[in-house]
Amino acid sequence: MQYRLVGDTGVSVSALGFGTMRYTSPENAREVIQAGLELGVNYFDIGSAYHWRSPEENGETWVGRAIAGVPRERMVLSAKAQPRLGEARVEMGLSIHTRDQMWQCIENSLRRVGVEYFDFYQLWDMSADDHFAAACEGQDSPLQAMREARDQGLVRHLGFTCHGSAEQAIRWLGDIPDFRICTIYYNFNDRASEEIVTYAREHGVGIVIMGPLRGGILVGESEVFGRALPELAGVPVQEVALRFLLGTDGVTTVISGMKAISELEQNARVAAMAEPMTADQRARFMAAFEEFTHGEGLCTNCRYCAGACPEGLPVSQHMSTYQLYEIFGMTNMATQIAAMTGNMDPGLCTGCGKCVEACPQSLPIPRRMERLKEIAASLERE
């Protein structure tokens, strides 16, 4: 297992971390966590609302039972609570917007996991400006409690997890220098967050990648990877996806919601590689795919086109799927294309160009919609 420092915190984490949201049972959690610890996995992303059944039966208590007796210094634990305005559900760590609520969340998390401190405590899914306001603005804010808990040694470092834009995440990291870790969504097909990784690297902030396989989509085989980089011929897509991430300068660790030992072992094998993808390989990999678009460019899933389509088409979703199938050669995306029916039908595109105006790269979206339509028709004929 390779280990990396989380920004400038001095904390060393394994290149592969535990996402703890997909276990099938407390027994499954224990089995995977124990096996992972043996393989050197030490980073845990723990969520209060995962597996929620009751205050005694939830993702935190499952992890707590699985790690009971493990020396605390063998593990790097990160817990979290979600900032939102509205009615707070403090037990679950949801819709937290006051100092007192956050204090209760931190105390609940410590008790349920059964530890005396967390290495990291993160604002969970801080993805819009009103989430930031709920978390960080005013004297009575959740951030105030996080700072107090840090001053008392109950939490070592603060951060946030984010599905928002790169511009927002970078602004928040700049506004609140206390944030030393940031958990984001990023993969070779969805590269809009790349700017966050660069910013974090330059400012001593650790980057945790969630959803490295895009919710289980980046799997299977593609002949095209070998054309982009001959040394990747025959390597499964999931391994390429992990190698790409771990080869990205600034990425600290990749968390995966592993529930099978085989999955854990495959991921751990990649995370043990000293050079999963060199900077030169990574650059050649992306350059090749840019070339496969004939210079038209790759959709980064920045979502600037969100809401632009008068026909209500989810443009970024369609462009992303198009790209995985047509450019990255992932034939298993055919199922998703075949499911584009009703108000998702790419045939609804009138070619008005509103989405192109919103797209920073002016991608030829109507033409790609047309191509999706053709693919869907050919799949139907098969």
Binding site for ligand SF4 (CB under 6 A): 299-305, 308-309, 311, 313, 315-316, 319, 349-355, 358-359, 361, 363, 365-366, 369
Nearest-approach distance from CB 66 to ligand SF4, in angstroms: 38
Q: Packing angle between helix 315-326 and helix 365-381, nearest 10 degrees?
A: 60
Please tell me the distance from the alpha carbon of residue 61 to that of residue 174, in angstroms, as a whole number: 34
Smaller CB separation from ligand SF4, 42 or 320: 320
In contact, 26 and 62? CB cutoff 8 Å: yes
**Please, which residues have CB within 8 angstroms of residue 80's CB and are 6 or more apart in sequence?**
45, 46, 47, 48, 93, 121, 122, 123, 124, 161
Smaller CB separation from ligand SF4, 98 or 361: 361
Smaller CB separation from ligand SF4, 281 or 300: 300
Nearest-approach distance from CB 208 to ligand SF4, in angstroms: 23
Smaller CB separation from ligand SF4, 90 or 375: 375
The continuous run of DSSP H or E covering 320 comes out as helix 315-326
The single-letter code of the amino acid at 240 is V
Nearest-approach distance from CB 316 to ligand SF4, in angstroms: 3
**Please, which residues have CB within 8 angstroms of residue 321's CB and are 6 or more apart in sequence?**
333, 336, 337, 340, 372
Smaller CB separation from ligand SF4, 178 or 311: 311
Smaller CB separation from ligand SF4, 114 or 366: 366
Nearest-approach distance from CB 200 to ligand SF4, in angstroms: 21
Token representation of residue 65: 């039972």
Nearest-approach distance from CB 360 to ligand SF4, in angstroms: 6
Smaller CB separation from ligand SF4, 40 or 364: 364
Find, among 207, 217, 155, the residue nearest to 184 by Cα. 207
Nearest-approach distance from CB 310 to ligand SF4, in angstroms: 6
Find, among 196, 160, 218, the residue nearest to 302 by Cα. 196
Please tell me the distance from the alpha carbon of residue 98 to that of residue 140, in angstroms, as a whole number: 5
Token representation of residue 40: 């050197």
In contact, 50 and 59? CB cutoff 8 Å: yes
Nearest-approach distance from CB 317 to ligand SF4, in angstroms: 9
Find, among 130, 181, 223, the residue nearest to 8 by Cα. 181
Smaller CB separation from ligand SF4, 174 or 312: 312
Nearest-approach distance from CB 378 to ligand SF4, in angstroms: 20
Please tell me the distance from the alpha carbon of residue 354 to that of residue 309, in angstroms, as a whole number: 6
Nearest-approach distance from CB 155 to ligand SF4, in angstroms: 35
3-state secondary structure 103-117: HHHHHHHHHHHCCCC
Please tell me the distance from the alpha carbon of residue 205 to that of residue 173, in angstroms, as a whole number: 9
Smaller CB separation from ligand SF4, 156 or 191: 191
Q: Packing angle between helix 166-175 and helix 194-202, nearest 10 degrees?
A: 20
Nearest-approach distance from CB 313 to ligand SF4, in angstroms: 5
Smaller CB separation from ligand SF4, 245 or 313: 313
Token representation of residue 246: 């771990």
Please tell me the distance from the alpha carbon of residue 301 to that of residue 299, in angstroms, as a whole number: 6
